[in-house]
Structure 1
């Protein structure tokens, strides 16, 4: 097959316009592995790329999609054979390399993982980068000492992709999860995922000017950044940690050293894009086995044709859970 469908974002009179178009496989960049993409997922970074954010994607026209799961159609490396089911997340996929919103991608072999045995290709994209990021956050918190008996664990941005998966995974692992959201109508959704309590985002925005806040959280997964993140830091219990992986509320915050030197707390940065493939493989093994979580409540399936509307929704802050993309 030489032709395939893809979502192509073009710059037209200063506007970035996504359209489903027909492309040629020969137009893809050079790479060791050609993959027929069956499933992808929609992430906030994809929406930023589709809206022309030059910090994500430098050149247009461009096909976003930082996640892809499919079948190897051609390979020049012995480790990957035609017919292998594989997944690709992060690295430059969907940023400056045509991504998973196309029915074919061609990428370096060093980006490609064989599908974990405990997951279908579709399952892997319900998780996608969001699930991998949530797993990396939980892994870092565990290595910093968090256990189910430690006390309540806070999750900010809890209705988003990373947040909703983190809520479900932490609850399944036996933690008392406190979910934070600005969407009051999603309280029941978060409780179904396993949240013991749901807080309004406004509660986490109180006390920004204070140096310290009362100790509350035994750990936290923060997906939003900004002053909310440092309010979480200021309210961690002694020796507790927060894993930071997002910035939808801002990339800067008012900070002081007091929580760190008086309460011995840790601010743990988490990146899922450039992690070595061996680290990603380890996390995917956990996601497919001991951390396997039923995520049917938070997923919705969309097509390429529906993606432009969903991109608008996620940019407007209206997305709940995960959109898994069926590429047919």
Structure 2
């Protein structure tokens, strides 16, 4: 960590940053409240989600569940359906558990303490710090990607942010800067500064109030800091879906295993180690299905990218003429029967949603 100008800068950094924030902050609905429920809702939704994408979800959730009691009384399917398209569905399931904990164990009130908030399901150090500082003015720093970037560049912190051991370095730095009287404004300001000014690529250094003190600007290291060496290795998966229809009915299955999209619905699935054509699949589920019905169509290959894996999916549609055979398939593969027009009422993944919007004339 560079120390040559830290003492002078630290005296003015917080004040200057908050002044910048008051002039440049975006008008966002969770900024004008200290209601911990609203702040919790916004922070969980905005984790790994851009504000532009997350804002409609925030508005939708707040309208549907105006308080923590309403949220706690919802069903998991209700939550997952509203969450549909945001990804990281474990966050949604954890929110429901957390809401029930707040209602049943804390009389419907979020605990006003950082360490107590950490004990709630799905609340990590970042979210606990946000609620504690924004709602209860506790002097605890928030650490997200924006904060790592701002502190690393301005103060020359070269610790690898992908290493857990580095977080203590950034925590200590932020904690030394946060003002005791306005921790809420400081935390919002530093995140906003990273989101609008000190952005990952091509930051607006010429218009930056800290450029004369910024270590990265002084040494031309804007593209180097923050240091992040660890790269996520992505897994490739191949999904083969069998869409089984009879009249106006289709068979679906709720995903219950510890895998992606738990609690969401999709069709009968065969995962293969590599891409396979229909003839290859005939020796598996497709053979059984083709004996009882007719293949109507097969889809193009859908590519769906997640943080840790990339999925290639194909959909094969089978029409089953016999109601009896439809029931045999339903029982054999432990499937649920729904009307085709009701598919859009189920919580489904973005991959399923893309398919249903593109290639489902046979269902209408």
- In the superposition, the TM-score normalised over structure 2's length comes to 0.19
User: More strand by proportion, 1 or 2?
Assistant: 1
Q: Which one has a bigger Cα radius of gyration?
A: 2
User: More helix by proportion, 1 or 2?
Assistant: 2
